[in-house]
Amino acid sequence: VSHIAEEYYIAIDLGATKTRIALCDKNGIIEKTVYYTPRQGNEYTIAESIHSKIVSMWGNKVDKIKALGIATIGPLDIKEGRVVRPANVPIRSFELLKPLVKTLKKPVYVVNDCVAAAWGEKYYGDAVNYENFIYLTLSTGVGAGVVVDGNLLIGKMGNAHEVGHIVVDFTSDLQCGCGGRGHWEVFAGGANVNKVLRYLVEKNSLNAYSELKEKVLSGEQIDARKLFEYYRNGDPLAKKAVDIYIEATAAGIASIINVYDPELITIGGSVFLNNVDILYEPIVSRVKTNTITQPPIIKPTRLGDDVGLYGALAIAVHTPRKIAEIQGKMISRIIGEA
């Protein structure tokens, strides 16, 4: 890296499948690396993988690192800076804040990935000039980070981002991964595509021939990527499932607009970003019919796949007051002991 900065920051976007790590200065990303998140090991394996990646890539700069930000999958125990029983990683729970502060002797702030992404929009994305905005992710799951009157919402347990569990159809018997029924995420989470398709086939709500229906009946697992492929090829079952996706997402977005009154909503997440041409216009036009406040600007995030990294960077450089309150004391204590 030829870039010379006085102070560096490390941004980490910890996903269920991949971990992205970037060397940054306060203005943005300088260099980044991506690797597969460890799927086996103990509660320290993931923190150790992050530590060894940082040391091997940027070992000569560790002294000049000012702070680290981690945007992680949840659920988060925000006080301890650890992840507890994540849905899609086989390691039952793992520590992030404590082992990394101990080995690097730097502040490490750990925040849910959607919450961090919203903060990233404020400093590096489209929300620079806004005090009221929402970052929404439409990916394997559905989640959001919310800023109201300039404050990043955290909640009593750090779970103020779980908008995917808003009930969009209380008469539905489709069960969400969380156990609830009719949640936004059951209709629009990439992980639930197969469930929705099976439901539609079992309800026998389709008369026309559908190749996708044959696949579902044969027991093939259909993911979001395949669903949208079938949609693009004109498959009628795919059309039904995508229509449901759009209706549920419009209902969910209308609900968060009515609750938080944002000026701006940016949308990221692989399912949305890969299918903006199919999803954007119908979702935005349906949202308006269910909102009581003036509708906000809605647009795809321009930070793309890096929105989590920018979020983590924003958390490290411009640490939200509430996060500094919750995690700052423990960080000082561990650095003091080291």
Query: Is residue 75 near Zn ion by the rule CB under 5 A?
Result: no
Cα dihedral 117→80→176→217 (10° resolution): 80
Query: Is residue 240 near Zn ion by the rule CB under 5 A?
Result: no
Give least dist CB 183 to Zn ion, A.
4
Give least dist CB 192 to Zn ion, A.
10
Within 151-170, the residues that bind Zn ion by CB under 5 A are: 165
**160: which DSSP letter?**
T
When binding is defined by CB under 5 A, the residue of 178, 191, 284, 335 that contacts Zn ion is 178
Give least dist CB 191 to Zn ion, A.
11
Closer to Zn ion by Cβ: residue 115 or 176: 176
| Residue written as token pair 């018997």 | 173
Considering only the stretches 123-131, 176-184, 275-283, 305-313, report the one whose residues sit in contact with Zn ion under the rule CB under 5 A: 176-184
Give least dist CB 176 to Zn ion, A.
3
Closer to Zn ion by Cβ: residue 29 or 174: 174
What is the widest separation between alpha-carbon atoms in the chain? 69
134, 182, 216, 278, 283 from 259: Cα distances, Å:
11, 19, 38, 27, 18
Closer to Zn ion by Cβ: residue 28 or 180: 180
Contact indicator for 337, 303 with CB cutoff of 8 Å: no
* CB-CB neighbours of 289 under 10 Å: 9
Phi and psi for 10 in degrees, rounded to 5? -115, 130
Closer to Zn ion by Cβ: residue 178 or 284: 178
* Pure H helices in the chain: 45-58, 97-104, 113-124, 184-188, 193-202, 211-217, 224-232, 236-260, 270-273, 276-287, 307-317, 321-337
Closer to Zn ion by Cβ: residue 67 or 166: 166
Give least dist CB 173 to Zn ion, A.
14
Q: What single letter denotes the amino acid at residue 82? A: R
When binding is defined by CB under 5 A, the residue of 176, 196, 254, 298 that contacts Zn ion is 176
Residue nearest to Zn ion as judged by C-beta position: 176
27, 86, 220 from 244: Cα distances, Å:
40, 27, 21
Which residues touch 224 (CB under 8 Å, ≥6 apart)?
Answer: 190, 193, 270, 271
Round to whole Å and give the CA distance between 290 and 252.
Answer: 10
Closer to Zn ion by Cβ: residue 130 or 184: 184
Query: Is residue 248 near Zn ion by the rule CB under 5 A?
Result: no
Closer to Zn ion by Cβ: residue 88 or 132: 88
Give least dist CB 75 to Zn ion, A.
12
Closer to Zn ion by Cβ: residue 51 or 181: 181
Contact indicator for 45, 20 with CB cutoff of 8 Å: no
Give least dist CB 166 to Zn ion, A.
9
Give least dist CB 222 to Zn ion, A.
21
Closer to Zn ion by Cβ: residue 26 or 195: 195
Query: Is residue 110 near Zn ion by the rule CB under 5 A?
Result: no
| Strand pairing class (8-14; 18-25) | antiparallel
Query: Is residue 100 near Zn ion by the rule CB under 5 A?
Result: no
Give least dist CB 137 to Zn ion, A.
15
Token pair belonging to 206? 């389709």
**SS3 call for 127:** coil
Token pair belonging to 65? 């690192």
Query: Is residue 271 near Zn ion by the rule CB under 5 A?
Result: no
Considering only the stretches 3-11, 177-185, 192-200, 299-307, report the one whose residues sit in contact with Zn ion under the rule CB under 5 A: 177-185
By CB under 5 A, name the binding residues for Zn ion.
165, 176, 178, 180, 183
